[in-house]
Structure 1
Amino acid sequence: MIDTRSGLGASEVTDDLSASDLLALARRRKADEDRAAAEILQLAARWADLHPPESIHHAAAFSVPGFDHEEPIAGEGCPLVTEFCIPELGTVLGISTTAAKKLIGHALELRHRLPRLWDQVHAGRVPAWRARLVAEATIHAVPTLTVEAAGWIDSQVAAVAGKVSTAQLDRLVAEAIKRYDLSVEPRPDFAAGEDHEDFEADQYLNHDRRHVTFDTRHVHYDGLMRMEAELDLADAYDLDAAIAHGAAALKALGSTAALGARRAAALGDLARTQTALDLHTQGTPAPAPAGDNLPAAREVVLHVHLDADAVGGETVFGPTGRLENGQRLALLDQVKGWCASSRTKVTIRPVLDLNAELTTDTHAIPDRIREQVMLRDRTCVFPWCTRPARACDIDHITPYDHDAAAEGRPQPGPTATSNLAPLCRSHHRLKTHTAWRYVHLGPGVFEWTSPHGHHFLHDHDGTTALDPPCRP
């Protein structure tokens, strides 16, 4: 049944459906979902076809974790795509620019380097999300996969990708990469009977896989963050020994925490170059020894807003606050713990009014205005972007005219709170070099218009699509 007024299908889930009917309907809807996801991949690939870059310097790329360089969004043999086309596809799909970049990269990887898997997706035998797992692995394999290598892996996994569990699929792809012997460069000609195992080992060592990565996207509500690292073997043993020693010292000083918690605390102490002697005072920070001029190991900056209550001449804070780094909930007890650690510098910065209009006559943005804008908007204000404001540029929404004063004209783009907003470098360049435009509707509220006329509202609650789009 179709509602012709809205164009939406009426729900088939009714109270009179039997158990068999419900299962049959669930199966049909899952098939519909898989077909839609496969079509999204086709649309993403076609969108890339429509937007080739003018040069390699304008091509979209991704950052490599643990390295300073960037790589194309898909493997060797895939066409390049201009970076500025990606955000618009992402916004209409309701995903971030980074997620849209991955979507297009996966679509190109599947279509050009994993064609068997691509066909299986569109035949309904492999869900799109499973195929994207394989594409993610082949795009980011170290060392980089050749076209031939990717094709060989495609032949190994395409037929079974829809039949095995996710964990089995991950193992199958990893084993296929290993079996292809991708860790070595092309071998020289060896004499008959000559052992080339040492050559393979030397080639493998040419690829430095060391890294330390913090998963800032998934911070637990109780303030925990996951860290992953691959270290030099000797460094790993040294770090393990230092952590074990620190955990033992904490226990000897009276800590009753579990071993895992003590090891984590010991790693934090290593990061701050301090010891666990605070336990001697049973939780009260120990005074620094006389003549101790060591710098602070940690700084806690408290931004005090007007929602703090003044009672009896003292400022009383609520039980929760907001952690600016990561936009996470912070409990008052957690903040007290951070401040109580030895060698901690506590800075209190009063913020009287984030809605006040601050201005200056210069193009350069004073620190007080920059700080106000970052605290007001919290993140990049582009639709669906969550990059922290402190990692962003401060953009003049209406460009500043450097010649206005000399020519006796009013300044169209003043350096004022209402004309400033944080934009990450990628979206700052997008706004500067493309037809994307936005306006400031109120404190922390922005309306964006894409080159094809789609409108989006961004505020502290997130992003809202304002459809239907107007004429481009």
Structure 2
Amino acid sequence: MIEVLAGPGAGEVEDLTAAGLLASIKASRETENAEAARQLVLAAQWADLHPPESIHSAATFAVPGREHEEPIAGEGAPLVAEFCVAELGTVLGISTTAAKKLIGHALELRHRLPRLWAQVHAGAVPAWRARSVAETTIHTNPALTREAAGFVDAQVAAVAGRIGPAQLDRLVAESITRYDLATADPTADPEDGYLSVDPRHVTVHDDDVHFAGTMRIEAEVDLADALDFNRAVAHGAETLKALGSTESLDARRAKALGNLARTQTALDLAGPGTDSEDLPPAREVVIHAHFDASLSGDTTVFGPTGRMENSQRLVLLEQIEAWCGDSRTKVTVKPVIDLSTPLTAQGYDIPDRIREQIILRDRTCVFPNCGRPARGCDIDHIVPWDEHAEAEGRPQPGPTTTSNLAALCRFHHRLKTHTGWRYETTAPGVFEWTAPHGYRYRRDHTGTTELDPPDPPGIPRPRRP
């Protein structure tokens, strides 16, 4: 077991010597590792409390969208009830996806990587290192059997988890070959286990936009594709220089990549005699940017900075002008929607104008800590629409109006519909959620704030001084 050492408080740090500071920060790290290990145990126990059997009953019919079994670790690890991850995530202040990953790592370690699990709780391996191994063994293609995962576990535990990503990939490949897992894939070469671990990907990190309006792209491709790509980008950078660009080589290479993505926007590449009006738009990107504006006589004056809807980051007006100024760019201007004006529809279906207003108001899914863009979300009736109200002569309890609508991603929409999660709107764009166990959260444009839970029945809350 890990011994947790008590360190000095914030007020006592200034009095510590250099040796005392080193001892204190060492104790702090040991406490952090111990608590991370404990969180893995608690996450696994939370899964134990929510097995698939907890969502089934003899009197329940299969309803589309209801909770189902969720495999979140490898073969041999138990299944869990799908919706249990959301409540764990909210109490930890993390997204549902991050909570699902935490539970999956805990189950993977406890059931398929037991040696590494034991080392974590003995203090020999930090939890973060063990979780990185679990993440790899969960998502290997082809999937590792329990025996193959055990082989990886034994090798990693032998070096106390000190293994880099490249070494871990080679170890997984060896395990795939050793247990003949590659032969299960008809496209895999059984003589080369490395081919079974396909590292190819292209990832656009659209959740990390730089203040300069740039975004990071990461890729792993075939060797021949990489060489062709490098040659094309280098040629594009040299072409830009020949055309008079004075930007740095890195900037020109980045711009050349953008030109490749737009299928060569330079008009002269289309060939002599080609009418540019006959060419399709090379850049057709929908950018929802919000800028403050004022009237100066007959002229609209925009502020220098605004907010990009899809990344929730600041953007300069001159950047928008530059993006729209590239050749063969299609620009669509949509009418302004007043977010303060309530809009109402008579039926259940949500008209496009109301949908757009909710998307612009909420920006993301309004469930606590969820960051999925509202443009890809469902629009939920907070108070459900009653399809029998009109026929029975009752007023509609859940009208299709701005104040009764909110953006919810499909998972959290299902969660709200089929579980004990409830929420209400307290102001435009402000929502208060109550979890099945009574935890309460406020969600608004600033993020998620935990509120005091309601008083238990018959137990008054002590007054604060």
Same fold (TM over 0.5): yes
Structure 1 residue 410: deviation in Å? 0.4
Relative distance call for 1:303 and 1:217 in structure 2 (3 A) is closer
SS for the counterpart of 2:330 is strand
Deviations for 1:293-339, whole angstroms, at most 9, x for unmatched residues? 22323246576868311113111111111111222221112111111
From 401, 404, 421, the counterpart of 1:419: 404
Residue identity opposite 2:250 in structure 1: G
The whole-number CA distance in structure 1 between the counterparts of 2:13 and 2:253 is 54
Relative distance call for 1:199 and 1:138 in structure 2 (3 A) is closer
8 Å contact 2:366–2:407 — kept in the other structure? Answer: yes
1:170 equivalenced with 2:160 (yes/no): no
**1:11-50 correspondence runs (5 A):** 11=10, 13-50=12-49
Relative distance call for 1:470 and 1:141 in structure 2 (3 A) is farther
Greater alpha carbon shift after TM alignment, 413-422 vs 332-341:
332-341
SS for the counterpart of 1:249 is helix
User: What is the match of residue 257 of structure 1?
Assistant: 247
Residue identity opposite 1:131 in structure 2: A
From 337, 340, 343, the counterpart of 1:355: 340
Structure 1 residue 23: deviation in Å? 2.4
Aligned residues: 432
1:442 equivalenced with 2:427 (yes/no): yes
Relative distance call for 1:470 and 1:350 in structure 2 (3 A) is farther
Deviations for 1:78-106, whole angstroms, at most 9, x for unmatched residues? 00111100000000000000100110000
User: What is the match of residue 60 of structure 2?
Assistant: none
The whole-number CA distance in structure 2 between the counterparts of 1:136 and 1:377 is 32
Deviations for 1:263-302, whole angstroms, at most 9, x for unmatched residues? 2222211222233459xxxxxxxxx974622232324657
From 448, 457, 463, the counterpart of 1:463: 448
8 Å contact 1:454–1:467 — kept in the other structure? Answer: yes
8 Å contact 1:306–1:351 — kept in the other structure? Answer: no
1:272 equivalenced with 2:262 (yes/no): yes
The whole-number CA distance in structure 2 between the counterparts of 1:305 and 1:267 is 27
**1:45-444 correspondence runs (5 A):** 45-54=44-53, 58-60=68-70, 72-161=71-160, 164=162, 168-182=163-177, 185=180, 199-201=190-192, 210-232=200-222, 234-276=224-266, 290=275, 292-299=277-284, 307-444=292-429
Relative distance call for 1:130 and 1:198 in structure 2 (3 A) is closer
Residue identity opposite 1:58 in structure 2: H
The whole-number CA distance in structure 1 between the counterparts of 2:392 and 2:228 is 66
SS for the counterpart of 2:332 is strand
Residue identity opposite 1:43 in structure 2: L
Deviations for 1:17-58, whole angstroms, at most 9, x for unmatched residues? 333333222222222211111111001000001111248981
SS for the counterpart of 2:204 is strand
Structure 1 residue 423: deviation in Å? 0.4
The whole-number CA distance in structure 1 between the counterparts of 2:291 and 2:191 is 64
8 Å contact 1:301–1:348 — kept in the other structure? Answer: no
The whole-number CA distance in structure 2 between the counterparts of 1:313 and 1:421 is 37
Residue identity opposite 1:318 in structure 2: G
Residue identity opposite 1:463 in structure 2: T
Relative distance call for 1:264 and 1:363 in structure 2 (3 A) is same
User: TM-score, normalising length from structure 2?
Assistant: 0.85
8 Å contact 1:302–1:348 — kept in the other structure? Answer: no
Residue identity opposite 2:416 in structure 1: K
Structure 1 residue 227: deviation in Å? 2.0
The whole-number CA distance in structure 1 between the counterparts of 2:129 and 2:119 is 11
SS for the counterpart of 1:15 is helix
Structure 1 residue 244: deviation in Å? 3.1
Deviations for 1:408-461, whole angstroms, at most 9, x for unmatched residues? 110000000000010011111111111101001111110000011100000000
8 Å contact 1:212–1:227 — kept in the other structure? Answer: yes
SS for the counterpart of 2:357 is helix
8 Å contact 2:383–2:404 — kept in the other structure? Answer: yes
Structure 1 residue 352: deviation in Å? 4.6
Sequence identity, in percent? 63
Relative distance call for 1:216 and 1:198 in structure 2 (3 A) is closer
User: What is the match of residue 64 of structure 2?
Assistant: none
The whole-number CA distance in structure 1 between the counterparts of 2:27 and 2:69 is 39
Greater alpha carbon shift after TM alignment, 329-338 vs 421-430:
329-338
The whole-number CA distance in structure 1 between the counterparts of 2:222 and 2:111 is 36
Residue identity opposite 1:200 in structure 2: E
Deviations for 1:197-251, whole angstroms, at most 9, x for unmatched residues? 97414x7657765432212222222222222334455544444443333222212
The whole-number CA distance in structure 1 between the counterparts of 2:123 and 2:394 is 63
The whole-number CA distance in structure 1 between the counterparts of 2:25 and 2:226 is 49
8 Å contact 1:75–1:145 — kept in the other structure? Answer: yes
Relative distance call for 1:234 and 1:23 in structure 2 (3 A) is closer
The whole-number CA distance in structure 2 between the counterparts of 1:182 and 1:314 is 70
Residue identity opposite 2:72 in structure 1: I
User: What is the match of residue 3 of structure 1?
Assistant: none
Structure 2 unaligned segments of length 5 or more: list them.
1-7, 57-66, 458-465
Structure 1 residue 180: deviation in Å? 2.9
SS for the counterpart of 1:218 is strand
8 Å contact 2:363–2:373 — kept in the other structure? Answer: yes
8 Å contact 2:377–2:410 — kept in the other structure? Answer: yes
